[in-house]
Amino acid sequence: MIYQRHIPAEELFASQLEMLMLNGRIATISANMLGVLATIALFWQFIPVTYLLLWACLVLIMLLFRSLYMSNALVERRFLDRPRRVYWQLLLGAAVTGAVWSSAYVVATYLVPETLQYVFLLLIFMVITLSMGVTLALREYFIAHLFTSLWPIAWWCLAHYWEQEHNLLVGLFTLGVCAVLLAVSNRVYLSFRSMIALNWERETMARELGDITSSLRDRNRQLRDARRQLTDLANVDELTGLGNRRVVNKVLREEINRARRNNSQLSVVMLDVDYFKNYNDTYGHPAGDVVLQKLADLMQRATARAGEVVARYGGEEFIIILPGANEHAVLRTAERLKDTVLEERIEHSTSQIAQCITISQGVVTLHPGSQLEPADLIIMADRALYQAKDAGRNAIAHYTPETDDARAG
């Protein structure tokens, strides 16, 4: 088993969207609603109540629409299926909300006393600050809100500095607040990202360690059996230390019988090194032997579960036997092994598909009730391997009945 030590970028992005909508949906709406109620309380003596209530209703409709959108996106898991679309729609909602406050301030400067304008500005500061703590799972969301609410106010005050005595000071002060909030938001955002990544890594490690722990007893027993078997050199490949073809046939027979008794699945991976002959011709056979030894080590690291067997079938061909593995599990193992080989970056200048060593893999899964024999599984895995090579190499092909049709064609 190969651990993923860092959360993939797409999973981190989806987690940020989910965290933003879970925590920010109620809190953001509540902060803005409190701001609307406070605005009505401030301005009712200076602005007709009808206009105030109409403005409040429109803002309420917008906030409820945003809340409904977030709820639906969470229920339908859109942040996983269409994360970029959800991202831009959330930014649009934040920008519209910020524009509501900046435009309300500009209108208020013509209708209410100067003192109330400053109180209203402090109210906007409060709404932004209250929103910050729950929206910084995604920094761009908070920035969109900040720069459509306070930024226009600051520049409007600076552009109209002569109209009111303190406009210049208010504009500079608001720009300073924007700068401070931006700096603080960056620190909080990085903390959010670290927390999400740490939680993901802990959950992943706990899940995979749990899988290993549950099979430790069987693993230890099989290791004792393996030591006895490896003393027989006839069953061991001298170069890699793996089992040879004889071991493959023996283990496959045992695992097929066990799968039939337990009504379980069994998967097999057959793989080889792409353009290995070119590699030997270029770097020499000793270097080729080192590549095979390295590949054997990577395969053993990728198979830590009880009962999983790695063997050298011949030449540059290897086989992995995965008891109990379904189609999804065997493809996941094959993908991880493929990525691990690529990460090693073993130079192969004469490869026609990459500048480093790559592998092609064919996989086949034995389903409950199947009467296939070991030789049948080997043939199917071999056909899938050739299908992977026909697909351009550095690929994984899963055996299906169509595989035979494609070969025949």
pLDDT category of residue 409 using cuts at 50, 70 and 90 = very low
Output 319 or 31, whichever has higher pLDDT. 319
CA distance 183 to 79: 27
Q: In terms of Cα–Cα distance, which of 8, 18, 67 is closest to 192?
A: 18
Q: Which two structure tokens, joined as six digits, stand for 399? A: 């055996």
pLDDT category of residue 215 using cuts at 50, 70 and 90 = low
The CA-CA-CA angle for residues 289, 291, 296, to 5°, reads 95
Q: In terms of Cα–Cα distance, which of 112, 122, 136 is closest to 189?
A: 136
Q: Which two structure tokens, joined as six digits, stand for 154? A: 């600051």
Residue 281 clears pLDDT 70, i.e. is over it: yes
Residue 408 clears pLDDT 50, i.e. is over it: no
Catalytic residues: 316
pLDDT category of residue 2 using cuts at 50, 70 and 90 = very low
Residue 346 clears pLDDT 80, i.e. is over it: yes
User: Count of CB atoms within 10 A of residue 43's CB?
Assistant: 21
Output 105 or 29, whichever has higher pLDDT. 105
Q: Which two structure tokens, joined as six digits, stand for 409? A: 């064609």
Q: Report the pLDDT averaged over residues 327-356.
A: 92
Output 330 or 14, whichever has higher pLDDT. 330
User: 217-408 has which fold?
Assistant: Alpha-Beta Plaits (3.30.70)
pLDDT category of residue 360 using cuts at 50, 70 and 90 = very high
Res 319: pLDDT: 95
Q: Are 245 and 313 in contact (CB under 8 A)?
A: yes
Beta bridge partners of 47: none
Please report, rounded to a whole number, the percentage of residues in the chain having pLDDT higher than 70: 87
Res 396: pLDDT: 94
Residue 5 clears pLDDT 60, i.e. is over it: no
Q: Report the pLDDT averaged over residues 77-106.
A: 88
Residue 130 clears pLDDT 90, i.e. is over it: no
Res 66: pLDDT: 86
Nearby residues of 274 by Cβ (< 8 Å), 6 or more positions away = 351, 353, 357, 358, 359, 360, 389, 393, 394
CA distance 8 to 200: 10
Output 131 or 294, whichever has higher pLDDT. 294
**Mean of pLDDT over the chain:** 84
Q: What is the DSSP pairing of strand 359-366 with strand 317-323?
A: unpaired
Crossing angle (nearest 10°) for helices 139-159 and 114-135: 160
pLDDT in tens, 13-26: 777 788 778 777 77
Which residue do the tokens 């970028």 mark?
9
As separate numbers, helices (DSSP H) first and strands (DSSP E) second, the chain gives: 14, 5
Sequence spans of domains, the chain: 9-207, 217-408
Produce one character per residue of 322-356: b if its CB has 16 or more CB atoms within 10 Å, e if not: bbbbeeeebbebbebbbebbeeeebebeebeeeeb
Res 230: pLDDT: 54
CA-to-CA dists, residue 360 to 64, 283, 401, angstroms = 53, 21, 20
Residues present in the chain in total: 409
Residue 311 clears pLDDT 80, i.e. is over it: yes
Q: Report the pLDDT averaged over residues 274-279.
A: 94
